[in-house]
Structure 1
Amino acid sequence: MTRIAVLVSGGGTNLQALIDAQGRGELKNGVIAAVISSRADAFALERAARAGIPGYVVSRKDYGSNREMTAALVEQLRGLEIGLVVLAGFLHILTEEMVQAYPNAILNVHPALIPSFCGAGYYGLHVHEKALDYGVKVTGATVHFVNEEPDGGPIVLQKAVDIREDDTPETLQRRVMEQCEWSILPRAVSLFCEGRLHVEGRHVKITEGAVWQ
C-alpha cells in the first residue's frame, strides 16, 4: 500500500477530490497518509481533519529560504514513510532536494494543457486569464511528474474542455477544476499506486489493466 502525502496551501479542492475518490475505493493500492500545509490557517487542513487524515504544517515563514523549507519537508515525508507526494495547490517553489528524494514520485496538477500557459508565474486564476486573452478554443488540465523545471516534468494525463464565448477567468477556472482536475488527478494517483506508470524520457507509459473510470 503506497502512503500518499498531499501538499497544500489553501482551500484544498483537489485534496477533497482525492479524499472523495479514496472514500469511493478508487485509489487502488494507495492511502492518503498525510496532508502537509504551508499555512496553518489553510482550509485544506480542516478537510483533512474531517476525513480523519493527519495534518501537518511546514510554513515558509519559519525558514530562511525555499531550500531550508524543502529540506524540512523532505525530512517530514521520510519520517512518515511517504511513497508518493501530490502537489495540490502548493504555492511554493521546492528546490532540487525534493526531486532528488522522490524521483518520478511527485505528481502535480496544472490547470492548462501543458506546454501551453505553464511555467514560472502561471498559477491559479492567472492561467485562465492568459488562456482567454490568447483566444484559444480549448483548455484543460494536466497531471505531470515534477522535475527541476516548473511544470516541465513528463505528462501523465490530460483532459480538455471547450472555452465558451461568455467565459470569465472565474467560470473557466471552475469548469476546468470540476471537469478535468477532479477527474484526472485521482486517476493518476491510482495509476501510480498500482505501479502502472513507467517513465521513459519525456514519455509516461501506462501499462494495461483494469482501472476505474
Structure 2
Amino acid sequence: MKKNIAIFASGSGTNAENIIRYFEENDLIRVSLVLSNRSDALVLERAQGLHVPTAVFSKDDWQTGKAILTLLKTHHIDFIVLAGFLLRVPLPLLHAYPNKIINIHPALLPNYGGKGMYGDRVHEAVVAAGEKESGITIHYIDEHYDEGSIIFQAQCEVLPDDSPKEVARKVHGLEYKYYPSIIEKVVLK
C-alpha cells in the first residue's frame, strides 16, 4: 500500500513541485495533498497543474489543528513534508504525527536557524558573517523552530565574492538534488 505525503508550503513551491515530480512514478509513495496558509501561494497552482489536490487553511484552523487533522485523515496522510513553510507546527499536529514531519532548512543547522530565519534572510546572514560554507539541513520537526533532530546535511562552498543570491542558487541546487531522495528514505524506513 502506498504511503501518502502531504506537503505544506507558503510560497512559490519549486521544492514542492520537485518532490511531486520525483514521486509521480513511485510505486510506494505519492504526494496526495498540498496545503498552504496563503491563498495566493504559487505552490497551489503548481500542485494543481500536477493533479495534486490542494487546500488553504486559516490561521485559526492552523492554531487549533482540528480541521487540518480531519483533512489529513480524509486524505489518509502518513507523512508530512514542509517545503518553504513558514509557520511553526502546532502541538496537535506534532502529537498526531510523531517523527513523521520533516523540514528542510537553507543552512547548516544549528547555525542560522530559528524564528525569522528563512529564505534570503539566511543567505544574507551567511554572507555577512563571511562563512566559507553553507548548505541544507533536513530535520524532524519539534515544538521549536529548527531544533528537531537532524536527518541529513549537505554543504556547498561560499566564495569570498559570492552574493546572497549566488549562495541561494547553490543551496537550491542541493535542495532539489537531495530532499526528494531523503524523504523517500525516511518515509520507507
Pair in the same fold by TM > 0.5: yes
Identify the match of residue 185 of structure 1 among 168, 176, 179.
179
What is the CA RMSD across the aligned residues, in angstroms? 1.6
- The yes-or-no answer on 1:152 pairing with 2:147 is yes
Q: Following TM superposition, where does structure 1 have runs of at least 4 consecutive aligned residues deviating by more than 4 angstroms?
A: none
Whether the aligned pair in 1 keeps the contact of 2:88 and 2:144 (CA below 8 Å) is no
- The yes-or-no answer on 1:67 pairing with 2:63 is yes
Give the corresponding residue for 1:97.
Answer: 92
Name the CA shift for 1:58/1:66 in 2 (closer, same or farther; >3 Å).
closer
Whether the aligned pair in 2 keeps the contact of 1:29 and 1:193 (CA below 8 Å) is no
**Which residue type is aligned with residue 169 of structure 1?**
P
**Which residue type is aligned with residue 191 of structure 1?**
K
Q: Which runs of 5+ in 2 are unaligned?
A: none
Identity percentage of aligned residues? 34
Q: Which runs of 5+ in 1 are unaligned?
A: 196-213
Q: How much does 1:28 deviate?
A: 6.2
**Which residue type is aligned with residue 66 of structure 2?**
A
TM-score (ref. length: structure 2): 0.93
Whether the aligned pair in 2 keeps the contact of 1:140 and 1:160 (CA below 8 Å) is yes
Distance in 2, matches of 1:9 and 1:151, equals: 17
TM-score (ref. length: structure 1): 0.83
Give the corresponding residue for 2:135.
Answer: 140
**Which residue type is aligned with residue 150 of structure 1?**
Y
- The yes-or-no answer on 1:50 pairing with 2:44 is no
Distance in 1, matches of 2:28 and 2:151, equals: 18
Give the corresponding residue for 2:157.
Answer: 162
Give the corresponding residue for 2:28.
Answer: 29
Name the CA shift for 1:56/1:136 in 2 (closer, same or farther; >3 Å).
same
Name the CA shift for 1:152/1:28 in 2 (closer, same or farther; >3 Å).
farther
Residues matched between the structures, number: 188
1:150-182 Cα distance to aligned partner (Å, 9 max, x none) = 11111111110000222111221122011x111
1:102-152 Cα distance to aligned partner (Å, 9 max, x none) = 000001000001111111221111111111111110000011010112111
Distance in 1, matches of 2:14 and 2:107, equals: 17
